[in-house]
Chain A
Amino acid sequence: MSVSAGTERSRKRSTAQPMPYEMRLFVAGKEANSVIARSSLERICSDHLEGRCHVEVIDVLKDFQPALEENILVTPALIIRHGPVRTVVFGNLTNIDRVLAALEIGSEPS
């Protein structure tokens, strides 16, 4: 997984080829659900998408323009782009199954 993040648009992008999963996580600074969402997404990426994802974390408290552009009205919100499919998952991403469903991965026995 590669994660990007910036002050205005903090991003952590892995170089080389496009990843199968391009994800943009919209958070609100250190707010509780945003912190949980970061942590959950990191865990999902490390558990299920190792090396296959690119995550961009956007803090709307610093710049909410990207959110408006993506039509994101609440945070935390995760936009998953997998090929032509764009899926948005709202919330703190603690429901792993729902995220995996959006990733079209399905839960795997741990």
Chain B
Amino acid sequence: MMTARKPTYKELESRLLETEDLIGVLRNHEVDVIVGNEHVAVVRLQEVQEALAKTRVGLEHRAVERTAELARVNRQLRETIDHQKRIQNQLEHSASQLREHAELLDLAHDMIFVHDMDGRIVFWNRGAELTYGWKREEALGQLSHELLKTEFVEPLLRITARIIKEGWWEGELVRTTRDGRKVTVAARWALRRNADGRPAAILEIDNDITARKHAEQEMAEARRFAESIVDTMQESLVVLDPQLRIISANRSFHETFGTDPQQIVGQPLLTLGSGVWASAELYSRLNGVLTLGGNFEGFEIECNGGEPKAFVLSARPIRRPANGAERILLVIQDVTLCKRQERVIEADKEQLGSLTEELMMIEERQRRQIAQALHDSVGQSLAFSKRELNLLRQRGPEEVRGRLQEVCEQLDDAIKHTRDLTFELSPSTLYTLGLQAALEELADQFAESEGFRCQVEGPGDCIPLDERVRSLLYRAVRELLVNVAKHAEARNVRIVLDRDEQGFRIVVQDDGKGFDVSALKGRGKGGGFGMLSVRERLVRVGGVFAVESAQGKGTKVTMVVPIDRGQRSDWGFDGIAT
């Protein structure tokens, strides 16, 4: 085994010098290659310098890049700082707003409080203090629903589950205040979560709707009351929308039309009753209620499907300014019975009129018979008796002549009364010489007895009138002359007979004091053959009866009878339909 020889001092000094020399040449770049154990590495200064230059360029490039990167980072940093500053400002602003909101919550009339998920109150605003009665310091830490004795409309567990799932809940609750008063509130709950998303607290906002609930109950009661009234009405009421679809109807409607209250809503009105309501005029009128703003009343409609029915319809708009909705209230009155009764009354009236006419005709005939009898028997007997008594008075003794003279005079009176009575019962002139002659005779009689001038004007020839009409007109003129004598205080009376294409006309005109024509309407139909009776009878034969009068301006009465009716000889009582 060989042992390394220790170098001498001279050798060490020589190596030191070599080493220093080596360091010097390396520093001066005087080295070409470095010799290793397995290879030789060439060291070229130029290449090294070029490499160094390249490296320096690379470094400079990297430095530029790095500088740019640093600038970018710096800019980002500044932006981050600015952003953080803005966030800080926003946070400060938010905090300020939160403080303001918290103050606002105290200003709110609503009861606002917050409780944690255990139900313990952590916030209690001024509104809650005022309404519920507990101060903030008294309420904080209390279990809210125990404190307020909350009555829930649904189980609290379900509400809690919903608020955790959806984040909110709203509904009506009943709370009890400190003094035991029940308060109905519209409650809105909102869930607040932690930063990690877990439920942290529930904000409850209560709006006191006790007064509103009372008002709603009163309105509901009023509505029920109104509906009960509407349901008791005999008229059918139905409310329609602008498209004429049924919104609601009362009980009478359903009873009348056999409809189901549950199924009729939304059904078009005009499709009811197998289309019998599908009247174009009804459709037009109902549309006009809303579009033209016009009510209508008394529109009659008859339904002949099945049992004949008659209805009278009235409609008016229902406008609701609150929501602008427009509806139509249609009132349907079932007048089937009324119509039926009207027809019966009309028939009865017609029959009564015919009977009256027959009675009057019978009366007229009886008058003629009585007048004839008076003239033929009593009148003849009285005339024979007078003639015989006159012969006896001339031939008899002086002491009985005076008495017989008195008897003859009484017989004269009786004969005159008999003649007047005969004339009054039935003037024979009317049936022998005609209406104008009879009226002239009547006029002379009134002029003589009542003291006014009475003049008859006419065509003169015999007007061929039916006997009943002739009698009717004669009696009518007589009634008018009686009225003139009684009330008019007239001095002159004109009776004018005329005929034209329209009919036969008689005008009776006086220059008396006149009267208020409207008073005629208020007077009863009594009084026998009065003016109203004259008018009714004329109307029955298709005629016209017109009165013109005014205070101080006399009276003019015009009566017109159609020629064809007045001249029909076969027109009798049996000819009038009943």
Contacts and interface: CB of A to CB of B under 8 A. Distances in A.
A75 B21 contact: no
A92 B25 CA distance: 8
A18 B28 CA distance: 34
Contacts of A87: 14
A88 B37 CA distance: 20
B37 A28 contact: no
Interface string A16-34: 0000000000011001111
A46 B21 CA distance: 24
B39 to A, nearest CB: 8
B2 interface: no
Contacts of A3: none
A32 B45 contact: yes
A75 B25 CA distance: 10
B26 interface: yes
Given A28-B42, A91-B30, A60 B35 contact: yes
Most B C-beta atoms less than 10 A away, residue of A60, A74, A87:
A74
Given A68-B37, A74-B33, A31 B42 contact: yes
B31 interface: yes
A74 B22 contact: yes
B35 A31 contact: no
A28 B43 CA distance: 10
Contacts, number: 71
B21 A86 contact: no
B32 interface: yes
Interface string A36-77: 000000000000000000000000110010011000111110
A87 B14 CA distance: 7
Nearest to B43: A74
Contacts of B14: 86-87
Nearest to A72: B35
B258 to A, nearest CB: 128
A90 B34 contact: no
A90 B40 contact: no
A33 B21 contact: no
Most A C-beta atoms less than 10 A away, residue of B28, B30, B32:
B32
Interface in B24-67: 24-26, 28-35, 37, 39-40, 42-45
Interface in B505-556: none
Contacts of B37: 68
Contacts of B39: 64
B448 interface: no
Interface string B429-462: 0000000000000000000000000000000000
B18 interface: yes
A31 B32 contact: yes
Interface residues of A, number: 25
B21 A88 contact: yes
Nearest to B15: A88
A92 B18 CA distance: 14
Nearest to A73: B35
A89 interface: yes
Contacts of B32: 27-28, 31-34, 74-76
A41 B34 CA distance: 20
Nearest to B11: A86
A90 B35 contact: no
Contacts of A61: 33, 40, 42
Contact of A73 (B24, B30, B34, B44): B34
Contact of B40 (A34, A60, A91, A92): A60
A7 B14 CA distance: 31
A67 B42 contact: no
A89 to B, nearest CB: 6
B392 to A, nearest CB: 215
A32 B44 CA distance: 8
Given A31-B42, A31-B44, A75 B22 contact: no
Contacts of B18: 88, 90
A25 B77 CA distance: 63
A100 to B, nearest CB: 14
Contacts of B29: 33
B35 A67 contact: yes
Most A C-beta atoms less than 10 A away, residue of B28, B33, B44:
B33
Contacts of A28: 32-33, 40, 42
Contacts of B33: 28, 31, 60-61, 74-75
Given A28-B33, A60-B33, A74-B34, A91 B28 contact: yes
Given A33-B30, A74-B35, A76-B30, 20 more contacts: A31-B33, A31-B44, A34-B32, A60-B33, A68-B37, A74-B22, A74-B31, A74-B32, A74-B33, A74-B34, A75-B32, A76-B31, A76-B32, A87-B14, A88-B18, A90-B31, A91-B21, A91-B24, A91-B25, A91-B31
25 contacts: A31-B44, A32-B32, A32-B45, A60-B35, A60-B40, A64-B35, A68-B35, A73-B34, A74-B33, A74-B43, A75-B32, A75-B33, A75-B35, A76-B32, A86-B14, A87-B14, A88-B21, A89-B21, A90-B18, A90-B24, A90-B31, A91-B28, A91-B30, A94-B30, A98-B21
